[in-house]
Every structure is written in structure tokens, then in C-alpha cells.
Structure 1
Amino acid sequence: MDCNLLKPFPYSSLQRFLLADSGALEKDKCSGTGESAYWFCSVCYPGLAYRGFDNLTVHLSSEQHQFKVIKHPNQTGRTNCMNTFCHLLPQAEAVTLVFWDINTCPVPSSCDPRLVGPGIKRFLKNKGYSGPLTITAVGVLTDVPDNILRGVYSGGISLDNNHCGRSSVNYSVRDYTSANPPPAIIMVIGDPGVLLSISDLFSYKGGYKFLPYDSILSFLPADSGELEGDNCSETGESASCVCSDCCRGNVEKDFEKFSMHLSSRAHKRA
């Protein structure tokens, strides 16, 4: 049979390809089409093909995909598709990491910094994330008032001083995902620019669930008394302080010593 490969074959219905007796197809194998089927997500992975239906549903239900849909609605023509596959899978008890850009998303003046850690912990618990939790505030900590850092640290949040500014959280997430294979739940708190750069990172790193948030207020109840009974030390590991600028790898547990280091001549020369 001769055919023009450049000319399309228009059909308006799939009924043309289905037999009246579906039993006639029972012996046919789907793999007989040549290769197993692929799936594509042109929103997040344009031009890349993947296999596995379960992988597709995990991706479509991920917040990294939903974030892409919100940021690039013209790629889909509508944003309501973000809810199509929400909550298809049970929440895994995976390790949970929170990286908070404390410079682009500071503690509001009306907020007690000691409540941020317990607030994030309760928020994640209410969302069904029950795995080991570590929260780290990342950024140029010398630009944050000492009393804010002290309160954040006492609330169970680790501190990581990094002079890279808006890229600090990006580097922190890259370091973690390079050294630790999935699965893991990674929440990032920062302004939209920070979240978009992290979203691009997760577009080619599979197996991690990305939770983007652009406000600390999302984790704090209207009545701060609701968090008074929370034990800050239950955030997983005890909080620690690191200066990635000049003492990378050296962990300090004493906040006062860490604060003195940040104001020292040795740090300023680094």
C-alpha cells in the first residue's frame, strides 16, 4: 500500500480503531507497538521522555509541577489543571528538610521569632508529613538582627551563614540533593524569585517532593498561644550553627559563640 508519510490521516473518533468484540484484542500485547509507552510533561520537562505511569502521577501531583503551572499559565492555557492529580498518593514518612531564606523572607515585625520553628513543625504535621524534620535558616546572617537570630535558633531552627545572598538557599538545596539520594521532602521558604530558581533545579531532579512557600505567616496561627505547648527541640535534630563562608563543616551548638564569630575580624576577613 502506497502512502504519503507527510500527509496526515484525520480521524474524529477512536471508535474506528476498536473492534466490536473487545475480546478479539485480549491476546494483543501493548508492547507489540515496538517500545513501551512514554510520558511527557511539556510544562516542566520539554522534549524529555520518561517511562512509568506511577512516575507520571507522582510528578503531576507534586508541588514543583503545580508551581510551574502557576508561574507559566500560558504553557497550559489554564491553571485549574494543577488540582487534577492532587493528593493521589499517601504522604510518605520521608526525611523532611526546610530551607528558609531569612533575607528575602524575614520574620515579620509582629511575629515572635521563637514561634517560627514550632509553627513550621505543626504546619507540616497537619499536612501529613511525619518524617524526621530539620529546619535551617540560610542567608547573610550578619544582615539579620541578633535578637531575631537568637529567637529563631531557640525555636529549634539551625542557622547557616552564607554570603551568596539570593543564591544561598539554591546552593544549600543543591548540596543536599547531590549528597543525599531521594526520597525526601524539601520545603523552601523565600521570595518568588528564589522559589522559581529552586523549581528549575527540581525540574531535572526526580524523587524529591518540593514545597514552595513565600511567607512565614503561612505557618503561624492567628493566636500564638496555640504554639506555646510545642517542644521546639522536637524538630528532629537539635539546632546547630554553621558559617559556610569561613568555617564550612564546623558545627557550633552555642549561639553566643556563633554570634561572636560573625562579628569577629577573622570572619570579616574571610
Structure 2
Amino acid sequence: MLRRQRAKIHVWWDMKDCPIPEGYDARRVRPSIERALKELGYTGPVSITAYANQNETPDHHLLALSSTGVDFAHILPWVEYGSMTSDFEAWKVDNPAPASIMIISDEVASSKSRSSLFCAALQESNYKCFLAYSVRPFEMPVLVTSAEWLWDSLLAVSETKRHIFHKCSGSEMVVASTGMFSCKLCYSDCKSLDAFKKHLASKEHTKEEHRMTSHSQSAPRRHMLYKISKYHAKASFFFFLMIYIDSQQRKM
């Protein structure tokens, strides 16, 4: 048990489901997560990857979080959990149990199909799982967990003056970035926010994002055509089967 409590913990954070609250100092996200885990006796090193369309994340949040070592993954919503699943499969190769994992997501707390593969991969593993969500689910979470939190309560701190950022103070004071910025669409890693923003504004990235968006928009039509073709294939099969049976009966 002691070995597990001191082992690594990796956090997969869906920033769209569980955003940083208005007026909250983003630098407090990591300490809040670490404190919540320590209250359960888990004191191992914590790594965090925040998934979102990072074009929608304010730069001051990116800088503040990065200054605490949070990594970022730029991804589009419809492929987010596929990317999480791939990242999890790669991560577990070098981080076997007793390492633990934490998921911050409303999707994983529900039975939505977008996260079903990710949940299945987690359930098949031997990791201790922790879960946080912005709204308490109406149904039992699909994922079996060791502990759960509401996102706001996870971020809640006792020393309000020290931990809450007020707009009147100007901006969050940040130090140099230590987190990694990764574009999951182009498989590109950047060590600074400036380089990351340049990549997201590049023609190559824009082209790839448009390609994936077009592919996603055409997916429902392809699925519909597939279902129609499948129906016609079955209908044709039964039609010719009936003809064959009728012909055999005539011979009798």
C-alpha cells in the first residue's frame, strides 16, 4: 500500500468539461489537485496533461498553468478521447501499476460513447483511478474509482486571499514556462507558448485542422450511407434467398 501511495500519478484533464473558474488563479490548479490526493495519502509525483482546443484557452491561463509544469494537448472535441486513449496506452508502457491515474471529465463520469474506449482501456488496467467532474452525474460513473470530487470543491482552498486571483491585481504573475505544448493533430511539440501559438497559426496546422473538420462533418453522411448499403445488402440477400427457396420447393 505504501508503495502505491508514493508512486506516480498522471492526470488527464478535459478543460472544456472542467474549465478554470472565473477569477481563479490558474497557478492553484496543480497544488489543489496535489493537496486533494495527499489528503488520501497519495504523495507521489503528479503530472498533468490538459486537453482542449487550446485556441480557446486564454493565454494567461496557458502561461500560469505552464509555469507550474502542466502540459497541454491541443485537440478537437470529436477526437479528444481517442487521443487520450492513445496517450494512456503509451504512458502505461513506462508507468505500470502501482502508478495511479486521475481523470477530470464529465464525459468519463457518464456513459457517453465518445469516452467509452478510454473508459474500457482504464477498466482493463490495474491502476487506481480518481475522478473529478463539474456536475455530479445522475447515473453511476462507468469508471470504477477510488475517490471522486466535484471540480469546484477540488479547487476550493482555505486561504482565499492567497489562492484567489482578482482582476484588480492586473494579471497572474507567472514564471518561466516548464510545461510542454503539444499539437495532437500535427504531432508537434513546442517548449514555449510563443512557438505553440505560431504553430497553431501556421498554414500547415490550419490545413490539417480543416481536413479533420471536413472529415468529421462528412462522417454522419458516410455512416448513413453505410447503414443504407448494409440494409440493401441484407434485403438483397433475403430476396435471393426467397427466390432460391421457392425454386427448390417447385422442384419437389
> TM-score, with normalisation over the residues of structure 1?
0.55
Counterpart for residue 194 of structure 1? 108
> How do residues 37-52 of structure 1 correspond to structure 2 at under 5 angstroms?
none
Return structure 1 stretches of 4+ with deviation > 4 angstroms.
Answer: none
Q: Call closer, same or farther: CA 1:227–1:262 in 2, change over 3 Å.
A: same
Among residues 108, 114, 125, which one is paired with 2:21 in the alignment?
A: 108
Aligned 8 A contact 1:239 1:253 in 2: yes
Q: In 1, distance between residues paired with 2:120 and 2:162?
A: 36
Gaps spanning 5+ residues in structure 1: where?
Answer: 1-88
Q: Kindly tell me: are residues 247 and 166 of structure 1, through their superposed partners in 2, closer, same or farther at Cα, counting changes over 3 Å?
A: closer
Other-structure match for 1:205: 125
Indicate the residue corresponding to 1:267 in structure 2.
205
Describe the superposition over 1:207-251 as per-residue Cα deviations: whole angstroms up to 9, x where unpaired: x111111143213315444559xxx99xxxx42221121134x3x
Residue 256 (structure 1) aligned to one of 182, 194, 199: 194
Query: Which amino acid is 1:125 matched to?
Result: K
Task: Tell me what 1:184 maps to.
Answer: 99
Per the TM alignment, residue 263 of structure 1 is displaced from its structure 2 partner at its CA by 2.3
SS across alignment from 2:48:
strand
Can you list the C-alpha shifts for 1:152-171, whole angstroms capped at 9, x where unaligned? 22233111112323544343
How many pairs align? 172
Q: Is the Cα–Cα contact under 8 Å of residues 140 and 165 in structure 1 kept in the other structure?
A: no
Mapping 1:12-161, distance limit 5 Å: 89-90=1-2, 92-161=5-74
Matches of 1:240 and 1:220 in 2, distance apart?
A: 26
Amino acid at match of 2:186: C
Distance 1:264 1:195 in 2: 35
SS in 2 for 1:194: coil
Alpha-carbon distance in structure 2 between the residues aligned to 1:105 and 1:170? 19
Deviation readout 1:133-184 (Å, 9 max, x if unpaired): 2111112212323332222222331111123235443433233225532221
Cα–Cα, structure 1 residues 213 and 119, in superposed 2: closer, same or farther, change >3 Å? same
- What are structure 2's unaligned runs of at least 5 residues? 111-115, 135-150, 165-173, 209-252
* Structure 1 residue 101, shift from structure 2 partner: 0.8
Please, what TM-score do these two structures have when normalized by structure 2? 0.59
CA RMSD of aligned residues (A): 2.8
1:219 equivalent in alignment to 2:159: no
Distance 1:225 1:200, change over 3 A: farther
Q: 1:226 to 1:167 in 2, by over 3 A?
A: farther
Percent identity over the alignment is 29
Name the structure, 1 or 2, with higher relative contact order (CA <8 Å, separation 6+): 2
Q: What SS class does the counterpart of residue 98 from structure 1 fall into? A: strand
C-alpha displacement of 1:259:
2.1
1:187–1:212 Cα contact (<8 Å) kept:
yes
